[in-house]
Amino acid sequence: MKPNRPTSAELEILSVLWEKGEATVRDVHQVIDKRKPTAYTTVLKLMQIMDEKGLVERDRRAKAHVYMPKIAEGETQTTLVADLLEKAFHGSALRLVQHVLETKPATEQELKEIRKLIREAERNIK
């Protein structure tokens, strides 16, 4: 079964749930509305759709339904990056990394971590 891929709006909601662990629609709306004005009903409808798609699960025991992410952040990132790598960069990790570094310069600490990851990847090849 092909996993459901979240839309940009769904990813925004998931990011709130990943950070909080669980939240009501009101909690999620308050966070998102601070970033960009969004109607409460829009967040509610998106979260209902996400429940139907299997992206979140809802605890119906309390008066206010509490939502939890049903998909892990790391798994979602891996799936989205793999799709992007294939679709936009024809499977070339070099082209992806090159584009990322040209688009948003990395900090010295990030470059240090990237070098560490490269060394680890080189050890795994040998």
What CATH number has the domain bearing residue 60? Answer: 1.10.10.10
Report pLDDT for 62.
74
Do 64 and 36 have their domain in common?
yes
Report pLDDT for 1.
43
Do 58 and 1 have their domain in common?
yes
Do 13 and 50 have their domain in common?
yes
Tally of structural domains, the chain: 2
Return d(Cα 4, Cα 109) in angstroms, integer.
34
Report pLDDT for 2.
53
Return d(Cα 111, Cα 118) in angstroms, integer.
10
> Does residue 4 have a pLDDT over 80?
no
Neighbour tally for 98: CB within 10 Å: 12
54-105 pLDDT, tens digit per residue, is: 999 998 887 788 999 999 999 999 999 999 999 999 999 999 999 999 999 8
| Average confidence score pLDDT of the chain | 92
| Domain of 115, in residue numbers | 92-126
Report pLDDT for 89.
95
Return d(Cα 93, Cα 99) in angstroms, integer.
10
Return d(Cα 60, Cα 37) in angstroms, integer.
27
Q: Which two tokens stand for residue 38?
A: 């969004």
Do 82 and 51 have their domain in common?
yes
Do 42 and 99 have their domain in common?
no
